[in-house]
C-alpha cells in the first residue's frame, strides 16, 4: 500500500511532537509557539490528487483597513529576498499569512518526513523572524522600510 502525503505529514508531526487536529478533510491545524513567546495557528493543506502539500502560518494580528495598501508594500519588500515561501494578505479582512508548499509526483508520493520538516520549519521560522516587523508596522504605525530594518 502506498503512503499518502497525508500519512507522511502525520508521520512528521507525530515524530516531531506536534499536536494536530483535522479541522476539515485534508486540513490539519497545529499551534506553533516561538522562542519569542508568540504563538499562532498553522494549517497544513493536503492536496493528494495534485501531489501537493501547502503549509500556512496565520499571523496573530490583522492589518487595519487603512493600513492595507501600505502593508502590501511591506509584504512585497519582505517577499523580495525570500527563497522559500511568501507572505500574503487577504485585502478584505487584513489576515496575514506565510505560505510554503511542495509539489511531488502524485502517483509516486516521493514526499518524506524530512521534506515535510524542512517545509514546516522554513515556514514557522520565517514567520517568527518577520512577525516583529509586521507588529511594529501595525501597532506602532512604523513605515514598511523601518519595520523591515528591525528584522533584516
Q: How far is CA 18 from CA 9, 12, 41, 120, 121, in A?
A: 11, 8, 12, 11, 12
Q: According to the model, what pLDDT value does residue 92 have?
A: 97
Taking the C-alpha atoms of residue 97 and residue 127, their distance in angstroms, rounded to an integer, is 8
pLDDT at 35: 86
Cα separation, 129 vs 85, whole angstroms: 13
d(CA 138, CA 90): 15
Number of domains in the chain: 1
Q: What is the pLDDT of residue 2?
A: 76
In angstroms, rounded to a whole number, what is the distance separating the alpha carbons of residues 66 and 45?
A: 31
Question: What pLDDT sits at residue 65?
Answer: 97
What integer pLDDT is reported at residue 34 of this predicted model? 87
Q: What is the pLDDT along the chain (152 residues), one digit of tens a residue?
A: 678 999 999 999 999 999 999 999 999 999 999 888 899 999 999 999 999 999 999 999 999 999 999 999 999 999 998 999 999 999 999 999 999 999 997 667 689 999 999 999 999 999 999 999 999 999 999 999 999 999 98
- CA 40 from chain centre, in angstroms, equals 10
Q: What is the pTM of this model?
A: 0.94
144: cell is: 514598511
Supply 40's cell numbers.
Answer: 499562532
CA distance 90 to 40: 17
3 neighbors 107 (Cβ within 8 angstroms): no
Q: Which residues pair with 89 in a beta bridge?
A: 96
**What is the domain extent for residue 103?**
5-149
CATH of the domain at 144: 3.30.1460.10
What pLDDT is recorded for position 106? 63
Amino acid at each position: 500500500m502506498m503512503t499518502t502525503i497525508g500519512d507522511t505529514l502525520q508521520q512528521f508531526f507525530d515524530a516531531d511532537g506536534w499536536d494536530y487536529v483535522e479541522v476539515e478533510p485534508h486540513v490539519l491545524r497545529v499551534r506553533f509557539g516561538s522562542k519569542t513567546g508568540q504563538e499562532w495557528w498553522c494549517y497544513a493543506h493536503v492536496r493528494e490528487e495534485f501531489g501537493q502539500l501547502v503549509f500556512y502560518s496565520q499571523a496573530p494580528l490583522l492589518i487595519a483597513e487603512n493600513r492595507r495598501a501600505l502593508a502590501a508594500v511591506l509584504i512585497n519588500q519582505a517577499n523580495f529576498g525570500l527563497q522559500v515561501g511568501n507572505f500574503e494578505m487577504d485585502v478584505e479582512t487584513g489576515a496575514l499569512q506565510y505560505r510554503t508548499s511542495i509539489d511531488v509526483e502524485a502517483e509516486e508520493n516521493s514526499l518524506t518526513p524530512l521534506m515535510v520538516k524542512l517545509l514546516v520549519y522554513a515556514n514557522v521560522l520565517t514567520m517568527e523572524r518577520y512577525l516583529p516587523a509586521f507588529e511594529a508596522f501595525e501597532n506602532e504605525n512604523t513605515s514598511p522600510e523601518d519595520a523591515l530594518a528591525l528584522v533584516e
